[in-house]
Copies of this chain bind each other. A is one copy, B any other.
Amino acid sequence: MFEEIGFIKNPIATGMIGGGKGSQIGYSHRNALARDGLFALKAGAFDINPENGRDFGVSINIDSDRCYADYQTLITEETKRNDGIKALIIATPNNTHYPIAKMALENGLHLICEKPLAITLQQAEDLQRLATEKQAVVGVMYGYSGYVMVEQMRQMVRNGDIGDVRIVNMQFAHGYHASEVEHDDAGTKWRVTPEISGGSYVLGDIGTHCFQMGQYVADLQVKKLLCIRQSFVESRAPLEDNAHILLKYKNGAVGSLWTSAVNLGSAHGFKLRVIGDKGSIEWWDEHPNQIIVADEDNMEKIYQHGHGYLHESAQYNRIGGGHPEGFFDSWANLYRRFGLHMAGIAEQFADGKRWFPSFNEGIEGVKFIEKCIASADNEQWVEFD
C-alpha cells in the first residue's frame, strides 16, 4: 500500500540545469521532486540565457545568488557550499546531457537525467563507470514507467499469467508534428536539429520510451532489429518523424514498434501490448489506470488501478480505484524511489526496493537508437549486441 511518510526532515538540496520558463519538462521535474518531501530545489541554471534563467529562478522562489549562468558555474559554486546541492536534474537538450552529467558525477552529485542519457553508446558507458566509481545514484527519466498498472503488467508477465511471451507490440505515435510546427516552437526546433538532438528525432524522443517499457515489462533480450524511418516533413531530414521497427528476440519472440510525430488524430498513442501463449495484456498511456487482460478463451477483462485483485507490488496507488492517477503521479513515483536511494534509506521502505530506470535503461536506449539508424540507413537487419 502507498505509504504517506515524512521520510526525512531535511529534503535533499537539488539543482536543475535547463527546464526554464515555459518548459513542460522542467515543470514536470519540479512538480515531481516536491511531491513526497524528499527533494528541495535550491539552485538552477535554468536557461541558456543567464538573465532569463535567473529571472525565472527568482520567479519560482530560488535564491537569486543560487541562480547560475551555466552548469559549470552551478556545479563549481554549489559544491563549495556547506548547504550545497547533493543532486542535480538535467533537463536540457540531448547533446548537453553527457558533459553536464560527467561534470556532475565527477563532483560527487547524484543525478536525474532526461533521456537519452547521452548521444553515443560510449558516452553512456563512460557515465556508468564514473557513477559506479563515485557511488552516485542516477535516475534516467523514463517517466511513464512509474505508473502502477505498468508494474502490474510486468508482474503478470513474470508470474506467467500470460504464459511465454510471443509478441511485443510497442507504439508511441502522436500527431502533433504532422506539419512544420518547429517554425514557431523552440521545443520542437531543437528536437529536429541534428547537432542538438543527435542522429534521430522520434526514435530518441519517444520511440525509446516504448522500447524501454517493452523491455521492462516483457523482460526479453533483443537479438536483432530492422528499422525504416522517414522524414515526412522534408525539412527534418535526415532526422525522421516516423519509424517502424521489427525486432527478433533471443527466445524466439518477435516485436514491432511504431513511433511517429505525424500520426494525426493521436494525442499520444503510447501503447504496449504483450502477447503470450496463455493470454495478453495491453496498456495505453492516455488512460493509464486500466489494462486490458485477455485469457486463453479470448476474453478481455479490464483491470483497474487501486483494486485488491492486483499484484501486491502494484498496490502503491496514491488514490483509490476510480479516481484517475496521471502523468505527474507516475513521475512522482519514480522521484520517490530516486530520493529514497539518494537519501540512503531505500532499504527501509517498500518504495525504496522498487525498480527505477537507470543506466541499464539509459544505455539500452542509446543503443536502440544507434541500431535503428544503422538498420534504416542500410536497409538491413542489425544484430543488437
> A294 within 8 Å of B by Cβ?
yes
Q: Provide the residues of chain B in CB contact with A60, threshold 8 Å.
A: 4-6
> A102 within 8 Å of B by Cβ?
no
8 Å CB contact of A319 from B24, B265, B293: B24
A37 to B27, CA, bound (A): 13
**Closest residue to A9 on the B side, CB-wise?**
B61
Residue of A282, A287, A298, A322 with highest tally of chain B CB at under 10 A: A298
B318 & A328 in contact (Cβ 8 Å cutoff): yes
B176 & A298 in contact (Cβ 8 Å cutoff): yes
B256 & A258 in contact (Cβ 8 Å cutoff): yes
**Closest residue to A227 on the B side, CB-wise?**
B246
Minimum CB–CB distance for A22 against chain B, Å: 8
B292 & A265 in contact (Cβ 8 Å cutoff): yes
Q: Provide the residues of chain B in CB contact with A230, threshold 8 Å.
A: 166, 252, 254
**Closest residue to A325 on the B side, CB-wise?**
B326
A242 & B323 in contact (Cβ 8 Å cutoff): no
Count class of interface residues, chain A: 35 or more
Minimum CB–CB distance for A71 against chain B, Å: 21
A212-220, A273-281, A360-368 - the one binding chain B: A273-281
> A248 within 8 Å of B by Cβ?
yes
A176-204 with Cβ < 8 A to chain B: 176, 178-179
A320 & B288 in contact (Cβ 8 Å cutoff): no
A248 & B228 in contact (Cβ 8 Å cutoff): yes
The complex is assembled from copies of this chain, and their number is 4
Q: Provide the residues of chain B in CB contact with A176, threshold 8 Å.
A: 298, 321-322
Minimum CB–CB distance for A169 against chain B, Å: 8
Produce 1/0 per residue, A19-41, CB < 8 A to B: 00000100110110011010000
A77-85, A124-132, A301-309, A346-354 - the one binding chain B: A301-309
A264 & B296 in contact (Cβ 8 Å cutoff): yes
B4 & A30 in contact (Cβ 8 Å cutoff): yes
> A379 within 8 Å of B by Cβ?
yes
8 Å CB contact of A296 from B178, B244, B301: B178
Minimum CB–CB distance for A362 against chain B, Å: 21
Q: With A226-B226, A304-B298 in contact, do A324 and B264 touch (Cβ < 8 Å)?
A: no
**Closest residue to A304 on the B side, CB-wise?**
B267
A319 & B262 in contact (Cβ 8 Å cutoff): no
**Closest residue to A164 on the B side, CB-wise?**
B232
Q: Provide the residues of chain B in CB contact with A275, threshold 8 Å.
A: 262-265
Q: Provide the residues of chain B in CB contact with A166, threshold 8 Å.
A: 230, 232, 242, 262
Q: With A230-B252, A230-B254, A299-B309 in contact, do A174 and B322 touch (Cβ < 8 Å)?
A: yes
B27 & A318 in contact (Cβ 8 Å cutoff): yes
Q: With A174-B322, A328-B328, A379-B381 in contact, do A6 and B61 touch (Cβ < 8 Å)?
A: yes
Q: Provide the residues of chain B in CB contact with A303, threshold 8 Å.
A: 299
Nearest 10 A-B pairs (CB), nearest first?
A265-B294, A326-B326, A6-B61, A268-B322, A267-B322, A323-B327, A6-B60, A324-B326, A265-B280, A300-B302
Q: Other than the known A4-B30, A226-B246, A264-B275, what 12 A-B pairs have Cβ atoms closer than 8 Å?
A: A4-B27, A6-B59, A34-B34, A166-B242, A176-B298, A178-B296, A244-B256, A267-B322, A287-B287, A300-B301, A323-B326, A326-B327
List, sorted by A's number, 8 A–B pairs whose CB atoms are closer than 8 Å.
A4-B30, A6-B61, A37-B61, A176-B322, A228-B254, A264-B298, A265-B294, A269-B322
